[in-house]
Amino acid sequence: MPADLITEPRSRAGRRGVSSYTTEAVRHQLAMDGLAEIVASHEADHGALTEQEAEEARRELFGEDHSQDAGRNAA
């Protein structure tokens, strides 16, 4: 792994916590990859997600508060 990618996790997690920090990052990336596969499969069968479908998925995954924040950030 490039040294510049080690510096910040080390400062955030402490030297002994880098392994745990990295484990959580990989776990998160695998979950995101899985979601991308689900969306790709759905879109292959049904076409692109509508904004309403995407919003419903955001609410289901992250809750009402996150959904409202996503709308604000998009503006």
DSSP letter at 75?
A: -
Encode pLDDT of 23-38 as tens digits: 999 999 999 999 999 9
Q: What is the DSSP string of 14-73?
A: -GGGHHHHHHHHHHHHHHHHHHHHHHHHHHHHH-SPPHHHHHHHHHHHH-HHHHHHHHHH
Encode pLDDT of 58-73 as tens digits: 999 888 876 555 555 5
Residue type, 32: M
Burial 3-15 (b: 16+ CB within 10 A, else e): eeeeeebeeeeee
In this prediction, residue 75 carries a pLDDT of: 43
pLDDT band at 51 (very low <50, low <70, confident <90, very high): very high
* pLDDT surpassing 80 at residue 40: yes
pTM as predicted: 0.66
